[in-house]
A = this chain, B = another copy of it.
Amino acid sequence: MRVLQQHGPCSRADMTRRLGVTAPTISKAVSSLLRGRMLEEFDSKQDGVGRPARQLRLATETAQVIGLVIDAQHCRLVSAGLDGQLHHESLCSFETPKTYRSLISKVVKSFEQVSNGRAVETLGLGISMPGLIDYRQQQGLLSPNVPITNGQSLARDLTEKLGIGCVMLQESHSLCLAQHHYGDTEGGNSRGLDNFVMLDIGAGLGMGVMAGGRVLTGHSGLAGELGHLPRIPDGRACGCGKRGCLETVSCDSALAWLVSQRVGRSVSIDEIVNLAQSGELSVEDEIGQVLPHLSFAISAVISLYNPSKIFICGRMFELDNKLFDKLLAATATDTLAPAFADCEIVRASVSKSQGAVAGIIEYLTDSLVPGVDGLFAPANNSPDIATAAAANQ
């Protein structure tokens, strides 16, 4: 499955070459994955001498997964093949409810709708949501923008209601996973990249870190909270309860807040982009205020994680097509030279929906492999766990 995820469809023979595993072994593994609806065969005309290969791909006709994205204003459900390709026509969207109970019932209803869009088995549901998420307990801890999820375990509750595997991911972690599996950048794709950072500078300053091929979770899943570094002493109040967090001065909404202050009414980043592009509004001054903080953030990321790439998601760059280069220049002077030289900074190319889907696919894939210790099955390398597992005598 990893080969198919990273290199796209191929034949059994291609797999033997890529993996260094012999043909009969591949044959057996593939037939078992076909039975489990994880893969499917398809014919494709091809050139070259010899018996034509039967191509394999991650299941898209025979199975699907569903991604759920929860945002402050809206929720979205969308189905996708196991290759991560979203079925855009299946999209179902609704306003984020005011209570947890209504969230659950709304999701269940929408799930039925999206799930029945295609007459194929739905294997699982991935959830991307903002705020702090405790991965050990699979429960929301603190989400300033969607407080109804605080203390709730959406994954567990939905698993029970829907009868299929459900997993929760912090939205930046989900973006990180999506970039790992499905990301494309100008100079090729980012699939299989092992050390990179995803920075989401939209509604807040979210970060996902891929370190050594795994999403960095920390002890409980709270790692990567770059946005809540203390930055401005006694600064503006942040959703987290503190003041002057980095995210209050360095993301799209920080920019929008500054602009709102000036024009005397609340304007969203979307509106600002529209006004700026039509020439009705200049935000140079506000950009000038945000830039050094954002530059600090990137500098910190490079020094702390030594990524080979940083992906940035945000609308801010649509305001000024030189902004990205200015940001790079500002960061260069402030950052440890060897680590900066090691790191390429680019715009991100994935969505939260892809992230949610990537999450559930990762979960399904990992659960096939005994003893794997990935995002959803950590700490399997501890002997004491093995002891418990072998408690048959």
Contact = CB atoms under 8 A, between A and B. Distances in A.
B20 A223 contact: no
A65 B3 CA distance: 40
Interface of A: 2-3, 6, 17-21, 132, 134, 141-142, 192, 194-195, 211-214, 216-226, 228-230, 240-242, 296, 299-300, 303-308, 334-339, 342-343, 373, 378-379, 381-384, 386-387, 389-390
B336 A303 contact: no
A56 to B, nearest CB: 15
The 5 closest A-B pairs by CB, nearest first: A20-B390, A218-B306, A222-B306, A219-B308, A223-B306
A302 to B, nearest CB: 9
B389 A20 contact: yes
Given A212-B217, A308-B219, A336-B225, A194 B342 contact: no
Nearest to A308: B219
Contacts of A2: 383
Nearest to A224: B304
Nearest to A306: B218
A18 B387 contact: yes
Nearest to A213: B381
Pick the most buried of A218, A307, A379, A381: most chain B CB atoms within 10 A of its CB. A218
Nearest to A15: B383
Contacts of A307: 218-219
A15 to B, nearest CB: 9
Contact of A225 (B226, B339, B387): B339
Pick the most buried of A223, A303, A384: most chain B CB atoms within 10 A of its CB. A303
Contact of A379 (B17, B134, B194): B194
Contacts of A218: 195, 211, 305-307, 339
Given A141-B338, A299-B229, A386-B19, A212 B214 contact: yes
Nearest to A336: B228
A220 B387 contact: no
A242 B299 CA distance: 13
Nearest to A388: B20
A311 to B, nearest CB: 14
A348 B274 CA distance: 54
A131 B141 CA distance: 38
Nearest to A233: B292
A2 B308 CA distance: 31
A216 B217 CA distance: 12
A381 B366 CA distance: 14
Nearest to A295: B230
A161 B348 CA distance: 47
B338 A229 contact: no
Contacts of A379: 194, 213
A143 B164 CA distance: 53
Given A211-B211, A337-B241, A387-B18, A303 B225 contact: yes
Nearest to A132: B338
A212 B223 CA distance: 11
B336 A222 contact: yes
B222 A339 contact: yes
12 contacts: A18-B384, A141-B338, A194-B379, A212-B373, A223-B305, A224-B306, A225-B304, A225-B336, A240-B336, A242-B334, A242-B336, A300-B300
Given A212-B373, A230-B296, 17 more contacts: A18-B383, A19-B383, A20-B387, A142-B336, A142-B338, A194-B378, A194-B379, A211-B216, A212-B217, A219-B306, A219-B307, A220-B306, A222-B342, A223-B306, A224-B306, A229-B300, A229-B304
Given A18-B387, A222-B338, A304-B304, A382 B195 contact: no
